[in-house]
Amino acid sequence: MSLAINTNIASLIAQQNLSVSSSQLKVSVQRLSSGYRVNSSADDAAGLARADQLKGQSRMIQASMRNINDGASAMEISDKAGEQITNIVTRMSELAASSAQGTLDSGTRGYYSNEYDKLLSEIDRIANTTEFGGYKLLNGSTSALTMYIGFKNTANDQLSVSLMALTAAVGLGLSSGILASQTGALSAIDTISTALKAINDARAVYGASTNRLSAALSNLQVTFTNYQAAESRIRDADFAYETAQYTKNQIMVQAGTSVLAQANTLPQSALSLLR
């Protein structure tokens, strides 16, 4: 091997290997400090693309879970309003039965009729004030609520709930002044029975929709967990492995630095030839 001063081949080789070791140590430090195996596309381009896709879908699933909770809240509000209307109509049936008694004079029957009509107004007030997110739920102005409960643009990612009008006249077929006579009171009994069925039908839709939304929410929660796990397997660092790599790279840098220092002293041996 020739002895050269201008070009220190050993030093260049040591520098090259030290550069590689330093670069690998930098990667190890970055992974350990960030907790991620993939910190840039250079680490794993395909893995980063897949992880970002899973991350985006997971965020959409979170939004859909909030949508489902909003839908369940709307159904609960509708059901509780329907419960109050049921209580009112039940009282109205009691008033109709009392007013149908043939021994009442017109003045006494008028007391029943007055309360009956006031309860009709209360049904309309409840129907017109029950709302969620700016949508009226019981007065017939909103025929259906369509909720986005997925993370793609398909029919299966949407859920539509039909809403029934529960206003006194339009939805329930109830009218004021009907208890003014015995004949009207008897007719009201049948009308009220039909109205109660309509209310129960509507509440059955609210209950079934709430249960369906709960099932959809449970499914999305499982999907979200699995997507998070899949993203973690791609993106997150394995600390046991990365710690071992860090230790190895740290030793290689220290060894490379020591060897480089020794390589830089090799040209000085030429001085011994000048003595």
- pLDDT (tens digit per residue) in 185-244: 999 999 999 999 999 999 999 999 999 999 999 999 999 999 999 999 999 898 898 899
* Higher-pLDDT residue of 44, 120: 120
Which two structure tokens, joined as six digits, stand for 1? 């091997």
Nearest to 210 by CA among 70, 65, 76: 76
pTM of the predicted model over 0.95 = no
For residue 100, being part of any structural domain is answered with: yes
pLDDT of residue 4: 74
pLDDT of residue 42: 84
pLDDT of residue 275: 66
Residue 252 has pLDDT above 80, yes or no: yes
Percent of the chain with pLDDT over 70: 99
For residue 41, being part of any structural domain is answered with: no
For residue 182, being part of any structural domain is answered with: yes
CB count in 10 Å sphere of residue 106 = 9
pLDDT of residue 271: 75
pLDDT bin (cut points 50, 70, 90) of residue 150 is confident
Q: By residue range, what is the domain housing residue 253?
A: 9-35+237-274
Residues 137 and 76 in one domain: yes
How does 252-270 read in b/e, with b if 16+ C-beta sit within 10 Å? bbeebeebbeebeeebeee
How many domains does the chain contain in total?
A: 2
Residues 25 and 60 in one domain: no
Give the type of residue at 34. Answer: S
Residues 230 and 241 in one domain: no
For residue 224, being part of any structural domain is answered with: yes
Residues 141 and 66 in one domain: yes
CA–CA separation, 74 and 86 (whole Å)? 18
Domain at 191, CATH number: 1.20.1330.10
For residue 43, being part of any structural domain is answered with: no
Percent of the chain with pLDDT over 90: 61
